């Protein structure tokens, strides 16, 4: 296994053509605020083969999440992937169109979209009636208290990683505002898409597999256990977590779907016992600031990444993750017996990934820093891509 502490745009350039069997990655979703005019500017630049630089920041104020990775990054990924090789690229529900366009313009074929559906998402909706009262300078009456009821949420702070949180319930102050009571601006998030894309084949599927060992999906290796199908059900493009599957079971059998819950605290923290825990900006049940050793904000479940890697990677193949984060894909590859190349610029996340992958069985880890940088450059405020600098 090879872990590279570097800007992925630069590090991928050192990888050989047609050397990677598959790509499983959870890149920035590009949740920054951009107007329709800026989206048009971006797409126009991309269509011309030009670079477009986003402004501001995205999820949790991170500069690296201001926009989705551009076509020039995915072209490098396409170059190192073997003909017929597949990639599964996670995207945001509201920016998957941009992620898909970026991948298409790089030369990938979009084959499908896998939906990971979960029951613990927390809505980050703007309360319209509260906004109207605030605009009028009116004070709202507190009529009770409620609990978020969702572990890992913290209403009013927009952060992740805490536990259930008690908050005040208030009533509109005027009849004019009352008619907007119950109105918001966003839906509860309940799924994340992963775009299934493929590097174009060299000839037919059969010939491509003979020549390059890539081009198909591991159907039998990813069949879902079912009491009414002894050989297992054919894998679908829907993956449920435990809560979502239980809701579906109330109506009909969900046995055709693969189940995968969000990662538990013990899974996120395994292997990090010696790391100092840091505040994640939310609260535990006792009302104290919650702390973690794994401070990465978007940790994917290892079981989910195992399933996805197994679906598209030939036995003994090499999996690339250009956006390694805290290393869930690497942990999955260690457990599945795949070779792995992971790239992560943020030094803190890189160390977390290294420890987690080792914990889950990653042996013979080779660490690479490219290029060597002075200490002052190791800041999470730095953009993740060269194309975002300036």
Cα(330)–Cα(336) distance, rounded to whole angstroms?
A: 10
Cα(286)–Cα(240) distance, rounded to whole angstroms?
A: 31
Cα(329)–Cα(349) distance, rounded to whole angstroms?
A: 13
* Element containing residue 115 per DSSP (H, E): strand 109-117
Q: Output the average pLDDT for the chain.
A: 81
* Element containing residue 226 per DSSP (H, E): strand 224-226
Which is more confidently placed, 28 or 168?
28
Tokens of 247: 């809701």
Q: Longest Cα pair distance anywhere in the chain, in angstroms?
A: 72
Interhelix angle 96-106/36-47, nearest 10 degrees: 10
Which residues neighbour 275 within 8 Å (Cβ) at sequence distance 6 or greater?
293, 351, 352, 355
Cα(319)–Cα(21) distance, rounded to whole angstroms?
A: 6
pLDDT at residue 283 tops 60: no
> Considering only the top CATH level, what class is 2-120+189-263+299-388?
alpha beta
Long-range contacts: 271-278, Cβ < 8 Å, 24+?
A: 271/355, 271/356, 271/357, 271/358, 271/359, 271/360, 272/352, 272/355, 272/356, 275/351, 275/352, 275/355
Whose CA is closest to 160, among 28, 298, 322?
A: 298
Highest mean predicted confidence (pLDDT) among 109-118, 141-150, 233-242:
109-118
pLDDT in the model for residue 158: 34
The tens digit of pLDDT for each residue in 46-91 reads 999 998 888 766 666 666 678 899 999 999 999 999 999 999 999 9
pLDDT in the model for residue 126: 86
What are the residue boundaries of the structural domains of the chain, listed by start? 2-120+189-263+299-388, 128-178
pLDDT in the model for residue 375: 45
pLDDT in the model for residue 55: 78
Q: How far is CA 320 from CA 13, 23, 48, 299, 345, in A?
A: 13, 5, 28, 17, 15
């Amino acid at each position: 296994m090879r872990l590279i502490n570097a800007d992925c745009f630069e590090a991928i350039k050192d990888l050989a053509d047609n050397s990677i069997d598959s790509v499983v990655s959870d890149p920035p979703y590009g949740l920054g605020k951009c107007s329709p005019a800026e989206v048009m500017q971006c797409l126009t630049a991309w269509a011309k083969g030009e670079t477009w630089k986003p402004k501001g920041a995205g999820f949790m104020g991170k500069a690296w999440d201001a926009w989705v990775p551009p076509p020039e990054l995915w072209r490098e990924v396409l170059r190192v992937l073997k003909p017929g090789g597949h990639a599964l690229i996670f995207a945001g529900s509201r920016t998957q169109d941009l992620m898909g366009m970026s991948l298409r313009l790089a030369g990938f074929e979009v084959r499908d979209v896998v939906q990971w559906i979960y029951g613990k998402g927390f809505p980050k909706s703007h309360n319209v009636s509260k906004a109207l009262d605030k605009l009028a300078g009116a004070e709202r009456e507190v009529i009770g208290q409620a609990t978020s009821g969702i572990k890992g949420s913290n209403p009013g702070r927009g952060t992740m990683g805490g536990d259930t949180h008690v908050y005040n319930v208030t009533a509109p102050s005027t009849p004019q505002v009352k008619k907007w009571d119950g109105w918001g601006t966003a839906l509860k998030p309940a799924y994340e898409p992963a775009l299934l894309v493929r590097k174009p084949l060299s000839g037919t599927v059969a010939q491509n597999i003979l020549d390059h060992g890539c081009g198909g999906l591991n159907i039998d290796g990813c069949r879902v256990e079912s009491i009414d199908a002894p050989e297992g059900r054919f894998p679908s493009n829907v993956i449920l977590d435990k809560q979502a599957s239980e809701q579906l079971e109330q109506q009909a059998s969900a046995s055709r779907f693969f189940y995968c819950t969000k990662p538990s605290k013990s899974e996120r923290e395994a292997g990090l016992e010696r790391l100092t825990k840091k505040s994640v900006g939310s609260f535990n049940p006792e009302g104290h600031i919650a702390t973690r050793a794994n401070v990465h904000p978007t940790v994917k479940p290892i079981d989910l990444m195992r399933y996805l890697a197994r679906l598209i990677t030939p036995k003994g193949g090499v999996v690339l993750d250009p956006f390694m984060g805290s290393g869930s894909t690497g942990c999955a590859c260690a457990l599945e017996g795949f070779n792995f190349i992971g790239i992560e610029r943020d030094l803190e996340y890189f160390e977390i990934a290294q420890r987690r992958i080792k914990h889950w069985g990653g042996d013979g880890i080779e660490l690479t820093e490219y290029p060597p940088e002075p200490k002052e450059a190791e800041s999470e405020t730095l953009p993740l891509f060269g194309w975002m600098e300036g």
